[in-house]
Structure 1
Amino acid sequence: MPRLCSRGRSASHVWLETKMAVRKKDGGPNVKYFEASDTVSQFDNVRVWLGKNYKKYIQAEPPTNKSLSSLVVQLLQFQEEVFGRHVSNPPLTKLPIKSFLDFKAGGALCHILAAAYKFKSDQGWRRFDFQNPSRMDRNVEMFMTIEKSLVQNNCLTRPVIYLSSEIEPKLLGKLKDIIKRHQGSVTDDKQASSHVVVPIPASLEEEEWVRPVMKRDKQMLLHWGYWPDSYDTWISASEVEAVVEDPPSAEKPRKVHAKWILDLDQYNEWMNEEDYEVGEGGTRRKRISAKTLTDEVSTPDERRDKKPANAKKRKRSPSPSPTPPPQESKKKNTKKG
């Protein structure tokens, strides 16, 4: 997960004033995050880069920081609705959320938006439309074009996976099929691999856990263990007593257990390797039991209407979903003035 720089002060708090502690219900965009003034300001680099490198595709209607931010929200929402875990036989593996958070000039987000604007121009579209069913196939094709551009510009790397001979033969075949479907590759050369996959440990942590990955003003971004990065959730920093640790320098190839691939197939999204790493050596970031968080923070299981046996009564009424549709979000913001 890339670090985002924080610019701006009081105005940037607008997106945080609603209680944000409820766990995201899906892997869609956090609309309030992308509407925040200090997030919008980070689109400067992207907008300038597009103007220099893709002027012919945007000059008819030059984008603003806000319109670029809005487009990213629409892309992420479409991706979740069409490629998310609730979709059977999705046409494409979800693009990593970190690609949409890479604001540097010439970075992944620049190439995502450049490919989208070029596709729009080539199709002769006046505007993007992700709601029209007749545009569905073309929009999926646009995502395939975006993915291709990310690979060509070295912003997206396909995993090259070495499967341990200790893995049970039946599971081995299943893992190979999953890797192939998600455009990874399997190698017999361990040294040439990006990942070494070993059998799933006999005992895995059953308790829900989180890892703080970013702090911004009075908010903290939590990553939930064994859930995709797109499900990371912003909460009030006061809800968790922990600091954000720097990610450990990963050794290559990364050694992970087979659940990393099985979960990829479940969520249609390459999972966070740090959750699945095995072996001794190297520093690891602290994992925090979700039970230690205040009652306001819902776990993914609670989000699916499953209450744990030891759940206490909620002290406060449930918070609104952190990812309302853009129109709904605007209405709420208007009311709050």
Structure 2
Amino acid sequence: MARKKVLVTGGAGFIGGNFVQYMVEKYPEYDIYNLDLLTYAGDLSKHRDIEKEDNYFFVKADIADQETISALFQKEQFDNVVHFAAESHVDRSITDPGIFVQTNVVGTQILLEASKRAGVSKFVHVSTDEVYGELDFNPTTFFTEETPLQPNSPYSASKASSDLLVRAYHETYGLPTNITRCSNNYGPFHFPEKLIPLTISRVLNSQKVPVYGDGKNIRDWLHVHDHCEAIDLVMHEGKIGEVYNVGGHNERTNLEVVKTIIRALNKSEDLIEFVTDRLGHDKRYAIDPTKLERLGWRPQYTFETGIAQTIQWYLDNNEWWEQIISGEYQKYFERQYALK
């Protein structure tokens, strides 16, 4: 019997990288292909422990390179595609929206077309709650799968566009698809431009921590390992054509998150520096994951256990993030936040 082949795009990134490790270890009977272009946020060092495994394969390629992608699908005949590959940092999308359209929209369409032609059994598109826009501060309101798409940043607009392409390929061509929309992820190997790893790395170095505006913007936090289990479940059990929201029920203001990390590391809140707010900064995200829970998923991490584990991971793996925050990333950080 032929082995099942699963293509994971963006498997050198944060969420995709954790998912690749999860799949290689959980399903030794599957062949897991990690496709990544290795842009600034891509890093293969996280996969040193699985590189030797017989069921792990790496392919360096651009999802927007139609010729390469078509040839790869014809050669390998993938059974499933789990699509993470995307430009994902809102700040960078405000500075340079064009690359987000190229990767997130054009790249997704090329993958969908290749999947359609190859007869892929299921295409799982990993999206974000940011496509829904923003919620007010009413704690009883949540995003559901029926919430209209109202993206507010170039990043979320590009993801909403790719979501609609996935829907269209299912409705028009019958491609078996699922879309997952997650809240903010955190955990091991999170690239240090995002809030939690940025705060950890700067607090450990006794550097100022930039907080946009008044810090009252609210996000729902989801541990990346819980997210991996959710995607696994949707890939195997999700009803074809359906959307599933993945949320952690862990709402916190950005300022609360920063203060939690500072307290855990026994540093002073004097490190907090409020900076000019992000353009189009959404007030609040919060997900109702009831539909996914009916499928059998429950998050294993509370925010308290998850953030403690994450902080400890960054303490234990300082070499990984220290080499990242040097050089070009440091120049970007200084341009973006203009700290005093």
Q: Normalising to structure 2: TM-score of the pair?
A: 0.28
More contact order relative to length (CA 8 Å, sep ≥ 6): 1
Highest CA radius of gyration, 1 or 2? 1
Q: Which structure has the highest strand share of the two? A: 2
Q: Normalising to structure 1: TM-score of the pair?
A: 0.28
